[in-house]
A and B are shown apart, each in its own frame.
Chain A
Amino acid sequence: MKYIGKIPEELKYTKEHEWVKIESAHGVIGITDYAQHALTDIVFVELPQVGKKAGQFKPLCVVESVKSVSDIFAPVSGDVVEVNDNLSNNPEHVNQDPYGIGWIAKIKVFDESEVKNLMNAEEYKKYLEGLEH
C-alpha cells in the first residue's frame, strides 16, 4: 500500500514534495512526510547559504540518503534569511518531524502571488494518490 503520510491543512505544496508555510512575508520551507519516507534515512542536508536568492521551483539545496541525492526546490522565490543549523548534526530530524524540527530554511518572499502556483493540502493528497509509485 502506498504511503501518503501526513499533509497538514495550513501548508502549500509543490509537485517535487516541498512544503511552505507563509507568514508575514516570510516562508518556512521543508520536505513533506511523503518525501522523507520515499528518501528513506536522510544522512545529510546540504543547507543553502543565508543570503542565497532562491527562485520558485529552482534548486535550493540538496538532501542525501545513503545511496541517493535529491535536489530540494524552492516553493516560492525569495532571499534565504535563516537555515536550520540543527540539521547539520541531526539530519534525522527531517525523517522524524518533517513539518516541525525538520524544517530546512526560511526565506523572505519576493512575491506572495506565486503561491497560486502551489497546491493546497487536498490537491497535494490527490496528486500523491495519482502518482505511480
Chain B
Amino acid sequence: MKLIFERSVKGRKAVELPKLDVPLQANLIPEEFIRQELDMPEVSELDVIRHYTALSRRNFGVDNGFYPLGSCTMKYNPKINEDMARLEGFSQLHPYAPEESSQGALQIIYELQQYLKEISGMDAFTLQPAAGSHGELTGIMIVKKYFESMNEKRTKILIPDSAHGTNPASATLCGFECVEIKSNSEGEIDLDDLKSKLTKDVAAIMITNPNTLGLFERRILDAAKLMHDNNSIVYMDGANLNAMLGIARPGDFGIDILHINLHKTFSTPHGGGGPGAGPVGVKKHLERFLPKPSVEVVDKKYRLNYNLPDSIGRVRAFYGNFGILVRAYTYIRSNGFEGIRAIGENSVLNANYLLAKLKKHYHVPYNRTCQHEFVLTDKYLSNDVSTNDVAKRLLDFGFYAPTIYFPLIVHGAIMIEPTETESKETLDAFAEVMIKIKEESVNDPEILKSAPLTTPVSRLDGVLAARKPILRYERTMALNEPTH
C-alpha cells in the first residue's frame, strides 16, 4: 500500500484557513530565521479519509476480535468513555485555567484517587505518570528519595527472573543495581534465594502479583515480611491487577508502592501503543515523596498543592494524561463496587476455563489454578513447529496472538489472558482453533510455518529491517511493491 507521501499531487489541498483578518506586516522575523522548504503531503480530504481508512483495515483491535495478549488485559473499551473524555468541559480546558474554572477536572482527579485507594488498599496516589513504566520510574524515584531522606545508602533492587523488562530498566534509570531472584519449581519467588540476596544495601524488591505466569504468589506475606524486617521497600507492578479487583488488595499484603495501568485494568483503550496512564499508590510513610502538585480539598474546594518540599518533583508537565483519567473514572462509576468485583471474578473464571480446555493439548509448565492469565509452552508441538508459528497461524483464524516468548523463564511461552469481557462462546471458538493448530503441527506443519496466509502481508523480514534500517520515507526510495 502507498504511503501518504506517495499519494501527494502538487497543488492539491485538503483544508483552507479563513482569510487573515489582520493587516499583513513585513519583516516580522529576520530572514535568517525563516524556513525555505516545507515538505508535506499535498492531498485532498477524501485522499486522507481513504488512506487512513485503508490503513485501519490493515490493523486489528479488540473491536475486531479476541485479543488474548497476556499481561496486556485487552478487554473491551466502552464507547461511553470516549464520549465523556470528549465533553467540551474536559477537552477544551486549559491546564493553566484558574482553579475556580477547573473544579470539575480537579474533582475527577481527586475522586479517582479515592477510588483507586479503596480498590488497591494504598493510602495515597498520584495520577501524574503517563504510562505503567513511567509509574515504575516514579515509584523507584520515591524509593531512592526515601533512603536519601534516611541518610542511608542502598544500591540494589531485587527483581524476580519472571519480571517484565521495564522493571530492571526503571531501576537502572535511577542508578540502582539489579539483582535477579530465581523462581522456584512452582513458578513463584524462591524465598531461599531471596533471603540469600537480601543484604543491608537492598533498597527494594519489585514484585508482580499475580506474577507474569498468571500465578498468585502464595507466600507474598512472608516475602513482604522478610523485606520489611530488612527495612527494605516492597514495590508491586500492578500490570496484573485485573485478577484481584474486589477480591484482595495489594495494600493489605505488604505492598509499599504500587503502580496501576489504567489502560489495562480500567479499560482505557491502548490506541495502538498508547496513551496510557500509570498512577502510583503508596503507603502513608511514603506519601510526602509523591510528585507535585497534589490535589486536595480545602473548604469544599479542590485545589492544587505545590508546597511539597519532600516531593521527588514533577515527572511530567501539567497533571498527567487527564483524558485517560476521565475514561477510567467513567468506567469505575459505570461498574460500581459490584461490577468491579465481577471483573476480578470473571477474568479469573475465563482464564481457568480456557486453561481447562487447553491443558490436555498443550504443555502447562505450572499446573495450578491460574489467576487472570496462564502460560502454555511449545513442548507438545510436533515437527519443529514453534510458538511463533502458532501465533502466526492464529491470525489466519481471526484472532490476535497471545504474548509469546515471555516470561523468559519458560521455553517457548504462550501467555494467554482472555479478560472478563469475552464470552464463553468466544473462548470455546478460540480453544477449538488452538486444538486444530496442535493437530496441524502433526498433519500439516508446513501450513504453520508459512502462516499467516490471509493477512495483507506475509511474514516480514525483521533481520533486514534491523541490519539496514529504513526509518523514514525519502523521495528517492525505490518502491518494491508489485502493483496489484
| A residues adjacent to B (C-beta < 8 A) | 41, 43-44, 64, 66-67, 91-92
Contacts and interface: CB of A to CB of B under 8 A. Distances in A.
Contacts of B466: 43-44, 64, 66
A41 B466 CA distance: 10
Contacts of A64: 466
Interface residues on B, range: under 10
B468 to A, nearest CB: 9
Interface string B226-257: 00000000000000000000000000000000
B351 to A, nearest CB: 26
Cβ-closest 10 pairs across A and B: A43-B466, A41-B463, A66-B462, A43-B467, A66-B466, A66-B463, A43-B463, A91-B467, A92-B467, A44-B466
Interface of B: 405, 462-463, 466-467
Given A44-B467, A64-B466, A66-B462, 9 more contacts: A41-B463, A43-B463, A43-B466, A44-B466, A66-B463, A66-B466, A67-B405, A91-B467, A92-B467
A48 to B, nearest CB: 20
B132 to A, nearest CB: 21
A67 B462 CA distance: 9
B415 to A, nearest CB: 16
B228 to A, nearest CB: 35
14 contacts: A41-B463, A41-B467, A43-B463, A43-B466, A43-B467, A44-B466, A44-B467, A64-B466, A66-B462, A66-B463, A66-B466, A67-B405, A91-B467, A92-B467
B285 to A, nearest CB: 38
Nearest to B468: A89
Contacts of A92: 467
Contacts of A43: 463, 466-467
Contacts of A44: 466-467
A66 B463 CA distance: 6
B79 to A, nearest CB: 36
Nearest to B462: A66
**Residue of B405, B462, B467 with most chain A CB atoms under a 10 A cut-off:** B467
A98 B20 CA distance: 66
A66 B466 CA distance: 7
Contacts of B405: 67
Contacts of A91: 467
A43 B465 CA distance: 9
Contacts of A66: 462-463, 466
A44 B463 CA distance: 10
